[in-house]
Structure formats: C-alpha cells, structure tokens
C-alpha cells in the first residue's frame, strides 16, 4: 500500500496515477477540507496530527472529534487517531472501523511501551494500526521489526531517524503493509520517500517481492550513478529486481547482515551489493574474506569480486602505447592500493594527505617514492587521482600544488565539472565516469547471473 501524502493544495494538482490511497494533512493546510468532494474515487486518510506527535495541530479533543463527525458521511474517508487520545479518553464512542490508530514516538525506543500500545490498538479492532518510532541504530530497527512480526494483525510501521529511508524502501519485506510517499519538497520527515522513488524503484509498486540489492556506503550512495543505471536496466529488460541506496553506519554493519539472515523474505530475495569505502574492507572481513572487494554476490556461499581491478586493467591496456614511465598515484585509500597492484612498471610515486597511510602503502612495494604535495617542479607522465578531490568542483592543482603532468586517470566523477579535466588535453584525460562504466557493466553481469540462477 502506497499512501500519497498531501500537505498543501499544490500537491493536489498532480496526484500520481499509482495512488489509490491519499493522506490529507489537515494540520498542515486547513484548506484541504475544501477539496474532499473531488476525491471520491480515492480512499482518503484524514490526519490532524497534534504538534507533540510530529504535526502542527493544537486542536482540542472535542474539536478534533467534531471535525471527524462532520466528515462521517464521506464513505471513502478514514480518520487517523492518536492512541494517546484513546488512552486519555477511554469512554469515547467511536466507529473504529473507520479509524487508523497511530502511535508516534520521537524519543528512545521502549519495547514494553510499544507492546502495550499495540495491544490496546489491536484490541479495539480499528481499520488499521500504525506505528512511527525513532530508532537510533539498526539494532533497534531489528528489535522493532521483531515486535511487529509478533502481532496478531498486520501493522503499518515506519522508522524515524537515520534508517528511515532504508526501512521505507524495504517495507514490502519487513511486515509493513504500506508506506507514505510525498511530492518532492513536501516531505514531512527526513527519509520519507517521494514520487521519484516510486518511479525509480519498481518493487514499491509490485504485487510480489522482487530481487533486491544495492550500494552500501555513506551519504554518497544517494548520488550514485548506479541507482539510475541498474534500475533502468532492470525495468527496460523487465527483470523483477531493484537496486537501492543503503546508507549504513559502520557500527551497524553486523546488524544489517543479521537483519537479512533472520528475515526469510530479505534473505531469499537478496542478490548482492556494491561496496564503497570503508566497506570494501570491513564487509569482506566480516565473512572471513581477506581481499579488498567492491562487490558481494549474496547467497548460500557468498562470493566476493573486485570489479575496480578489472576496470583498472582495461585502463592500463588503453594507455599501454603512450610511453608512460613516471607515474604519480595520488590518494591513500583502497583505490590507491589497487593502482599499486595494477601499475607495476615504471617509476611510481605516491602523494596524499594521510602521511601514516602513505608509509603503509610504501611498504607494499620497493622503489616507491613518497613526494611532498607541494611539488610543482616535478613532472609525471601520468597522474592517477584516487582521492575525492574534484567532486565538489575544487581544483586539484591548487589544492595539492601538483600541476606538471601529461596524462590523467581521474577516478572522481560528479554532477559538476571537475577542473582537473581542463588541465590536460581532452584526449589525454581518462575519466572516473568511464572507469565507473566499465566496472558497473561487470557488476551488472554478475548481478544478473545471480538473479537468473534463482529461477533455475
């Protein structure tokens, strides 16, 4: 169930064609009441949320009930009632068949309290029970999920906090009967899904569980080119799969895989994950795999790959005949380490901001020179930029003092123009977008093989 949440009259102008359920936030725009007659083909939830439960209404209990009674003749309307109102007024005469009993808590998770609220709500046999609870960690999301699973009826439940977006994207797998979708710019809480989410992630509209996977990383996952690339391919080829942004704290890594392992729907439908740093190291280690990897194919026997390595080999082949002898690798992360593995010929120099890490990398190969960042006099045939410099539009040469080079392999890619691209001839620049394209094609192939194997 996808509920299109309407917070103002402007949202009414473009109700998406997938919407069968609407939520009218009367607490945010009282004028919405004037449009009820034009919405008789939808099922509509009337929400007048108190300010202490995340809304804007300060309407008294009497006025709130009067509002609902005045709308009772609309057969398509359902009324969101806070459980707190019922607790404070146990003798209210309400037709619970038209009620959505909801509990919103922006404070710490308290399992006994949640259970008591659910017990009361379910005992009244309302049309729907809804829970929105703040969770400070993925472990708390797991605990809340377990409580929801134990209920005698289906619950619409939502996470508030850092994992709101992930829980809402995965709601079909997590025992929630639905989620709320907002018009872009009208989200009422961080992490709420938008119409763009529905267009991109086809599993949200599916009547069955799709194969799922995605990109594990930090905040950068939401800007990944892969979200469009993989999901567009799945839709174009009519493959029942989705590729999701999975923004994890490293401290919640074990809980994430425990969530999958202990949930049959998640486990059976998971095909795998692309990995960003620092997860290229920590996730393989979690499964006793020693090598840095940027891809895990999830299954009975998890398989790890490094498609970055394959893309580097392809790049190396492309520049083989350019007469490159002096190479500077800039950066200290896993991609710098990978570049050292691939580019073994020639005179190799290293530079970067993390001096301790530079010394660690130097130990991996003999005859490597560490240079000072401020070295404008040094010349290099090839600069390999493995850092993030340039993603925000900053100038590599101005930031580092390194400016004398002929060819560039520039791994960062961004929606903005990267200045480093302008510092060399166009034919001498090898972009991170091309590098990403090469490794993504390989990942897509491996994902599809995993998905196809499940059909056999």
Name the more confident of 421 and 129.
129
pLDDT digits (tens, 9 = 90+) for 70-95: 998 899 999 999 999 999 888 888 88
Is the pLDDT at 217 greater than 90, yes or no?
yes
> In this model, does residue 414 exceed pLDDT 70?
no
Separation CA 213–CA 190 (nearest Å): 22
What domains appear along the chain, each with residue ranges and CATH number? Answer: 1-200 (3.20.20.70), 208-305 (3.40.50.10860), 318-436 (3.40.50.720)
Residue 455 in this model has a pLDDT that exceeds 80: no
**Which of 51-60, 62-71, 96-105 has the lowest average pLDDT?**
51-60
Tell me what pLDDT residue 415 has: 63
Q: List, for residues 345-360, the tens digit of each pLDDT value.
A: 889 999 998 889 898 8
pLDDT computed for residue 285 by the predictor? 92
Per-residue pLDDT tens over the stretch 192-215: 999 999 999 999 999 999 999 999
Q: Binning pLDDT at 50, 70 and 90, where does residue 158 land? A: very high
What is the rounded CA–CA span in Å between residue 141 and residue 256? 10
> How high is the mean pLDDT of the chain?
91
Task: Check residues 60 and 405 and name the one with the higher pLDDT.
Answer: 405
Q: How far apart are the C-alpha atoms of 129 and 78, rounded to whole Å?
A: 12
Flag whether pLDDT at 374 surpasses 70: no
Q: Which two tokens stand for residue 373?
A: 């960042």
Rounded CA-CA distance 176/443 in Å is: 31
Closest CA to 339 of 323, 320, 315: 315
Pick 283 or 90 by higher pLDDT: 283
Q: Burial level of 118, CB count in 10 A (0-12/13-18/19+)? A: buried
Question: Average pLDDT in the 261-278 region?
Answer: 93
Q: How far is CA 429 from CA 150, 224, 225, in A?
A: 57, 22, 20
373-411 burial by CB neighbour count: b if 16+ within 10 A, else e?
Answer: eebeebebbbbbbbbebbbeeeebbeebebbebbbbbbb
315 has a pLDDT exceeding 80: yes
Pick the closest to residue 439 from 207, 105, 215, 112 (CA basis): 215
């Amino acid at each position: 169930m996808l509920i299109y949440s309407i917070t103002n009259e402007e949202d009414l102008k473009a109700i998406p064609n997938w919407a069968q359920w609407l939520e009218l936030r009367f607490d945010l725009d009282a004028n919405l009441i004037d449009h009820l007659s034009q919405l008789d083909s939808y099922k509509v939830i009337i929400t007048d949320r108190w300010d202490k439960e995340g809304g804007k209404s300060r309407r008294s209990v009497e006025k709130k009930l009067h509002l609902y009674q005045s709308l009772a003749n609309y057969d398509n309307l359902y009324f969101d009632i806070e459980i707190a109102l019922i607790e404070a007024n146990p003798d209210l005469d309400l037709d619970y068949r038209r009620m959505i009993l909801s509990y919103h808590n922006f404070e710490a998770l308290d399992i006994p309290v949640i259970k008591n609220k659910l017990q009361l709500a379910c005992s009244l046999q309302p049309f729907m029970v809804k829970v929105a609870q703040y969770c400070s960690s993925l472990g708390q999301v797991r605990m809340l999920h377990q409580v929801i699973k134990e209920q005698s009826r289906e619950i619409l439940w939502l996470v508030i906090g850092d994992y709101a977006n992930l829980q809402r994207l995965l709601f079909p797998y997590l025992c929630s009967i639905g989620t709320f979708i907002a018009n872009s710019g009208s989200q009422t809480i961080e992490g709420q899904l938008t119409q763009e989410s529905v267009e991109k992630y086809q599993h949200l509209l599916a009547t069955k569980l799709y194969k799922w996977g995605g990109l594990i990383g930090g905040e950068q996952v939401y800007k990944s080119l892969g979200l469009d690339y993989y999901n567009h391919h799945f839709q174009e080829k009519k493959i029942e799969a989705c590729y999701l942004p999975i923004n994890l704290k490293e401290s919640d890594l074990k809980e994430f895989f425990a969530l999958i392992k202990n949930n049959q729907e998640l486990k059976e439908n998971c095909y795998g994950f692309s990995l960003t740093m620092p997860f290229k190291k920590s996730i393989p280690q979690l499964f006793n795999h020693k090598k840095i990897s940027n891809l895990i194919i999830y299954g009975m026997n998890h398989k790890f790959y490094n498609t970055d390595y394959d893309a580097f080999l392809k790049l190396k082949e492309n520049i083989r005949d350019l007469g490159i002898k002096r190479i500077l690798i800039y950066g200290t992360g896993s991609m710098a380490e990978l570049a050292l593995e691939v580019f073994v010929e020639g005179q190799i120099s290293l530079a970067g901001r993390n001096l301790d890490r530079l010394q660690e990398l130097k130990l991996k190969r003999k005859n490597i020179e560490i240079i000072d960042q401020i070295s404008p006099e040094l010349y290099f045939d090839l600069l390999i930029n493995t850092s993030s410099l340039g993603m925000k539009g900053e100038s590599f040469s101005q930031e580092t003092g390194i400016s004398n080079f002929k060819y560039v392999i520039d791994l960062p890619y961004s929606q903005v123009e990267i200045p480093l691209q302008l510092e060399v001839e166009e034919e001498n620049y090898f972009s991170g977008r091309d590098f990403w394209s090469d490794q993504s094609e390989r990942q897509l192939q491996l994902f599809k093989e995993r998905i196809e194997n499940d059909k056999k």
